[in-house]
């Protein structure tokens, strides 16, 4: 049980998105459950991200829809009539979550400290976490548990996903998984040139007899770009054909994963896979694959220097390099070297 918190019977967690951050939430939930098996846990989460964690047991999910603010608020108001919580952990920094938090009844509302806060987040809390500067996102999340006197840090990503695989014909083949794509936000610039993946897939096939599966969302952009990988019998393009549950199974059975900072990368990391993370525009020490940083290719310091004339110490924590050429700092030979380290 919680130290000095034996009276705590219910906790509401407000973390809506994104997929990568939701993977970081899984150890938080499992630590809470390990500390207090009878604790009533309610988790407010977006419907897309819910698909990853929907099989976690003994959690009351309130599923919101970012395209339907009014309908989502209706669910929050229904929750307000039904339940008052001992603690709200407000673990999302967004205007939408601020609005939701106003209508959640709780004796204690705990949010991010000022150094990790924006969008007026601090105005909607009773208390804030105490956190060091320059921490990985997951370690910041664990600061919420420290605030309620839980010192344990259980790195348990158990999530009970389906065992259905998407490509049954690959049952006897070794394969790698690539997701070349990231969110389509303006000036994102996290994507490596699609032609580079084609070269890497060829290398995996010729050197190690490893096939490649290309995954991604269902956007027209992703479908169009993935066609540029060509039609090779060792490249299996299933962009837009997976859900988060069978994606987990696909990743569980792969030899390795390659891609930029994305939700798929963090799912591969939570499953304990060898992850070659491609980082130049964001800092992997903040958002890298927590379980396996040893194969990350980190060009962030070089990109900071080249495009912003800054060192890492000069840059704000979480500062992005928004330059379309930054990812080109990652060379094909560097990725091949990481593959050799994993597969030889």
Angstrom distance (rounded) from CA 97 to CA 122? 12
For every residue of 271-324, which 3-state class applies, written as one string? CCCCEEEEECCCCHHHHCCCCCCCCCEECHHHHHHHHHCCCCCCCCCCCCCCCC
Kindly state the tokens that stand for 287.
């958002």
Domain 168-343 has CATH 3.40.50.2000: yes
DSSP 205-273: HHHH--EEEE---S-HHHHHHHHTT---TTEEE-TT---HHHHHHHHHT-S-EEEESSHHHHHHHHTT-
Query: How many whole angstroms separate alpha carbon 339 and alpha carbon 344?
Result: 8
pLDDT grade for 172, boundaries at 50, 70 and 90: low
Residue limits of CATH 3.40.50.2000 in the chain = 10-147, 168-343
**Cis, peptide link before residue 18, omega less than 30° from 0:** yes
Chain centroid, CA 49 distance in Å: 10
Number of H helices, E strands in the chain: 12, 12
What value does the mean pLDDT take over residues 226-239? 89
Q: Would you put residue 4 in left (φ > 0), alpha (ψ -120 to 50) or beta?
A: left
| CATH superfamily, with its number, for domain 10-147 | Glycogen Phosphorylase B; (3.40.50.2000)
Is the per-residue pLDDT at 96 higher than 90? yes
Q: Is it the case that residue 158 has pLDDT exceeding 80? A: yes
Predicted pLDDT at 70: 95
* pLDDT above 60 (res 168): no
Pair 19, 49: CB distance under 8 Å? yes
Work out the average pLDDT over 114-127: 84
What's the pTM value of the predicted model, to 2 decimals? 0.94
Checking if the pLDDT of 90 tops 80, the result is yes
Mean pLDDT of all residues in 288-304: 96
Could you report the per-residue pLDDT of 126-136, keeping only the tens digit for each? 999 999 889 99
Residue 122 DSSP symbol = G
CA distances, 200 to each of 138, 177, 238, 284, 296 (Å): 30, 11, 18, 22, 16
pLDDT digits over 176-196, tens only? Answer: 999 999 877 667 899 999 999
pLDDT band of 122, cuts 50, 70, 90: confident
State how far the Cα of 82 lies from the Cα of 283, in Å rounded to an integer.
42
Please enumerate in sequence order all residues whose Cβ is within 8 A of that of 38, keeping only pairs 6 or more positions apart, or say none: none
pLDDT at 5 exceeding the cut of 60: no
Mean pLDDT, rounded, of the chain: 93
Question: Per-residue confidence at 166, pLDDT binned at 50, 70, 90?
Answer: low
Residue 218 pLDDT: 86
Q: What is the DSSP secondary-structure string of 174-202? A: -EEEE-------TT---PPPHHHHHHHHH
pLDDT of residue 195: 94
Helix, coil or strand: residue 54: coil
Tokens encoding 39: 């604790």
Q: Provide the pLDDT for residue 167.
A: 64
Q: Which residue has the higher pLDDT, 173 or 150?
A: 150
Closest Cα to residue 250, out of 235, 233, 238? Answer: 238
Give the Å distances, CA to CA, from 283 to 45, 141, 279, 280, 312: 26, 17, 7, 7, 9
Which SS3 state, helix, strand or coil, does residue 33 take?
Answer: helix
Which pLDDT value is given to residue 6? 63
Helix, strand or coil for residue 111? Answer: strand
Q: Is the pLDDT of residue 1 over 60?
A: no
Predicted confidence at residue 117, as pLDDT, reads 79
């Amino acid at each position: 049980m919680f130290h000095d918190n034996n009276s705590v019977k219910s906790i509401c967690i407000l973390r809506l998105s994104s997929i990568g951050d939701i993977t970081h939430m899984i150890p938080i939930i499992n630590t809470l459950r390990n500390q207090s098996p009878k604790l009533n846990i309610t988790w407010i989460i977006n419907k897309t991200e819910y698909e990853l964690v929907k099989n976690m047991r003994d959690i009351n999910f309130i599923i919101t829809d970012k395209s339907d603010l009014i309908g989502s608020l209706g669910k929050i108001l229904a929750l307000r009539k039904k339940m008052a919580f001992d603690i709200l952990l407000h673990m999302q920094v967004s205007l939408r979550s601020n609005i939701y938090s106003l209508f959640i009844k709780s004796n204690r509302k705990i949010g991010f400290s000022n150094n990790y806060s924006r969008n007026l987040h601090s105005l909607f809390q009773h208390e804030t976490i105490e956190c060091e500067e320059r921490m990985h996102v997951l370690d910041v999340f664990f600061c919420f548990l420290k605030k309620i006197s839980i010192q344990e840090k259980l790195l348990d990503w158990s999530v009970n996903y389906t065992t259905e695989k998407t490509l049954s014909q690959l049952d006897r083949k070794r394969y790698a998984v690539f997701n070349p794509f990231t969110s389509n936000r303006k000036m994102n610039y996290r994507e490596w040139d699609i032609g580079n993946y084609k070269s890497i897939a060829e290398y995996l096939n010729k050197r190690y007899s490893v096939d490649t599966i290309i995954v991604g969302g269902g956007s027209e952009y992703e479908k169009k770009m993935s066609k540029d990988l060509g039609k090779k019998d060792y490249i299996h393009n299933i962009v837009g054909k997976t859900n988060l549950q069978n994606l987990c199974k696909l990743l569980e059975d792969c030899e390795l994963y390659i891609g930029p900072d994305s939700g798929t990368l963090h799912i591969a990391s939570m499953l304990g896979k060898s992850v070659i993370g491609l980082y130049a525009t964001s800092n992997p020490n903040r958002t890298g694959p927590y379980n396996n940083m040893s194969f990350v290719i980190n060009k962030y310091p070089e990109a900071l220097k080249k495009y912003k004339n800054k060192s890492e110490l000069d840059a704000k924590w979480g500062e992005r390099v928004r330059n379309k050429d930054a990812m080109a700092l990652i060379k094909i030979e560097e990725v091949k070297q990481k593959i050799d380290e994993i597969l030889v």
